[in-house]
Structure 1
Amino acid sequence: MKMADAKQKRNEQLKRWIGSETDLEPPVVKRQKTKVKFDDGAVFLAACSSGDTDEVLKLLHRGADINYANVDGLTALHQACIDDNVDMVKFLVENGANINQPDNEGWIPLHAAASCGYLDIAEFLIGQGAHVGAVNSEGDTPLDIAEEEAMEELLQNEVNRQGVDIEAARKEEERIMLRDARQWLNSGHINDVRHAKSGGTALHVAAAKGYTEVLKLLIQAGYDVNIKDYDGWTPLHAAAHWGKEEACRILVDNLCDMEMVNKVVENVEFLCECFLPPL
């Protein structure tokens, strides 16, 4: 993902956030003389975004989850990095924030700092143990999406210092999925766990990323080719959306349902027509 695309994606997330329940103080409903009950996590994110450390501490003492993530998987630490709020970044890390927690696109906070060119935040995160070899859903490390020379130099030096094998890091997820798929096939038992927020499965991931060998093994192991995530997406939706032609063909060859629609009424066949040559 290029820097411009990365910033655009984050700007779109911020636009969705501004004015949302995360951004707003709970309004008072005068008729009932009670406050609307807002999600505790949303209130916590709003307090962090406002920079009110006293309120954040109060919420933490009341049991707030410092690693709570919004619908995009963004935590308060991600948001502080996006906002270039180095004081909040340090405050959150010092109070136990997970420095390497990925969002829904696999971005850890260091990805956000690198894409925006916030050198002081990147230096701090690295000093606290951020994974310079972390790979997002597009296969990009923080170094890949950094375009400013100083940021590239910082990350490259750290990659060299740690001896990180970037190409091996890119292939790590697929390697692990291949190992698991083989185990499930040999044991006759699929021991997969859905993604907590999206409901995505290993089959969705393999389809979306074009891990064709993983996909074949999972189907051979008995995975339902029409399994849906929480938004109604099947693996074929995922493969078509991300333009993975071979994954689409594998799913079609295994008699997936071409007429299934997701919750935004996107037909799988329509997605295939939009993104791929005729199957």
Structure 2
Amino acid sequence: MSMDNRNTSALFKRAEQLKRWEESETNKHSGTPKSPSMRRIKFSSGCIFLAACVAGDKDEVSRLLETGADIDTANVDGLTALHQACIDDNLDMVEFLVQNGADVNRKDNEGWTPLHATSSCGFLSIARYLIESGADLASINSDGELALDLACSDAMEDLIQRHIDEQGIDCEDARQAEEKIMLNDAKRWLRSDSTDCDKPHPKTGATACHVAAAKGYGKVLALLLDGRGDFDKQDVDGWTPLHAAAYWGQKEAVQMLLNANVDIDVQNYSGQYAIDIAQKDIVPLLDEARKNNLKRPKRRPASQIRYGGGMRITDTIENSIETPTKVIRVEVKPIDSKEKEEVPEKEN
């Protein structure tokens, strides 16, 4: 990402955050006494805690923590008090929150850690403090970006790069970590009787197929399509994997889904078909698929699902991962050792 694009992205995100803050209940909350009729309105403890942090009232924050407030409570965008203190360039509050146990690696809804936010805003003192406090330099956001990728100045980039070098972090490995985890999990699912590959995320309703389609993880998607899942499943917004692939411009994933004969006539909960939200270069693919929507088996094996260039997925599944990441709305985590033991493998 170029420096100009980074700055534009960071400024746009900051503007959006400020707009949401201005419209939020937290910002509108006031200590001014209300009339008896208005006193019936009660703010959540999380809302009050975030407001106290933004106001810089450490005495009130301490009191709330003593009464059980969660220091990592987040607003509707997943921003914690630590995120907000970083965005506001409030080093004093950042130090106070971290010293009281705030998670320096907590992610917001877009996968941004406090260090991502700080890097994009260019606050060197806070970035230095977060790194010294254990901020994960290898953490990626939902766009597959490291904090390094969002650095808005040469000084910030130099600071983060120096610590990356000191810690021996491989940036490309970090950016591809999610895809590698999913690829290994997909292989395990195919060898087992587990139905986890079709299990939706409890908050977003997205399945592994949604993730792979939206991010263009072709090798992962091929294995999932060869499995036992429902690949027309809708998330909480009514999006199918085809909607996700079309919206985020994953042409290869769209073609794979079409070859697997997914339903192109599913509407999301806003009444939109995949073609209605698709990137321009995806529209002809979907338009042609609609014209040639002949009856055929619901799903075809991965050996028949081909990339645009005609290469079989099963011939290339072990190749190195080169696909860049895109936005997605679900966090993917590796299966822990206990869960792995519970997944039976089929006998050869």
From 19, 23, 28, the counterpart of 2:23:
19
Distance 1:120 1:218 in 2: 45
Please identify runs of 4+ aligned residues in structure 1 that moved more than 6 A: 26-29
TM-score under structure 2 length normalisation: 0.74
Distance 2:223 2:169 in 1: 30
- Cα gap change, 1:194/1:109 in structure 2, threshold over 3 Å: closer, same or farther? farther
Could you tell me which runs of 5 or more consecutive residues in structure 1 were left unpaired when the two chains were aligned.
Answer: none
Contact 1:259 1:269 in 2 (8 A): no
Distance 2:106 2:172 in 1: 21
Are positions 1:206 and 2:212 aligned together?
Answer: yes
For residues 71-117 of structure 1, the C-alpha deviation after alignment (integer angstroms, 9 at most, x for no partner) is 22221111111111111111111111111112222211111111110
RMSD of aligned C-alpha atoms?
A: 2.2
Are positions 1:238 and 2:244 aligned together?
Answer: yes
Contact 2:243 2:277 in 1 (8 A): yes
Q: What is the identity percentage for the equivalent residue pairs of Structure 1 and Structure 2?
A: 51
What's 2:9 paired with? 5
What's 1:255 paired with? 261
- Cα gap change, 1:273/1:7 in structure 2, threshold over 3 Å: closer, same or farther? closer
State how 1:95-114 maps to structure 2 within 5 Å: 95-114=100-119
Contact 1:28 1:36 in 2 (8 A): no
Aligned-partner residue type, residue 136 of structure 1: N
More displaced 10-residue stretch of structure 1: 266-275 or 198-207: 266-275
Partner secondary structure for residue 112 of structure 1: helix
The higher relative CO (CA closer than 8 Å, separation ≥ 6) is in: 2
After TM superposition, give the deviation of residue 124 of structure 1 in Å.
Answer: 0.2
Contact 1:209 1:244 in 2 (8 A): yes
What's 2:66 paired with? 61
The structure having more radius of gyration, on CA atoms, is 2
What's 2:303 paired with? none
Are positions 1:190 and 2:195 aligned together?
Answer: yes
For residues 150-188 of structure 1, the C-alpha deviation after alignment (integer angstroms, 9 at most, x for no partner) is 111111110111110111111111011111111122112
What's 1:78 paired with? 83
For residues 185-230 of structure 1, the C-alpha deviation after alignment (integer angstroms, 9 at most, x for no partner) is 2112133664454333322211111111111222322222122222
Contact 1:188 1:221 in 2 (8 A): no
More displaced 10-residue stretch of structure 1: 267-276 or 201-210: 267-276
More displaced 10-residue stretch of structure 1: 150-159 or 183-192: 183-192
Distance 2:145 2:132 in 1: 21
After TM superposition, give the deviation of residue 274 of structure 1 in Å.
Answer: 4.3
Contact 1:190 1:221 in 2 (8 A): no
Distance 2:55 2:67 in 1: 19
Aligned-partner residue type, residue 188 of structure 1: D
What's 1:163 paired with? 168
For residues 139-158 of structure 1, the C-alpha deviation after alignment (integer angstroms, 9 at most, x for no partner) is 21111111312111111110
Aligned-partner residue type, residue 96 of structure 1: G
- Cα gap change, 1:199/1:78 in structure 2, threshold over 3 Å: closer, same or farther? farther
For residues 7-49 of structure 1, the C-alpha deviation after alignment (integer angstroms, 9 at most, x for no partner) is 2023212202212123221798857564323333223222222
Contact 2:78 2:109 in 1 (8 A): yes
Distance 1:197 1:58 in 2: 31
Distance 1:275 1:40 in 2: 47
- Cα gap change, 1:64/1:195 in structure 2, threshold over 3 Å: closer, same or farther? farther
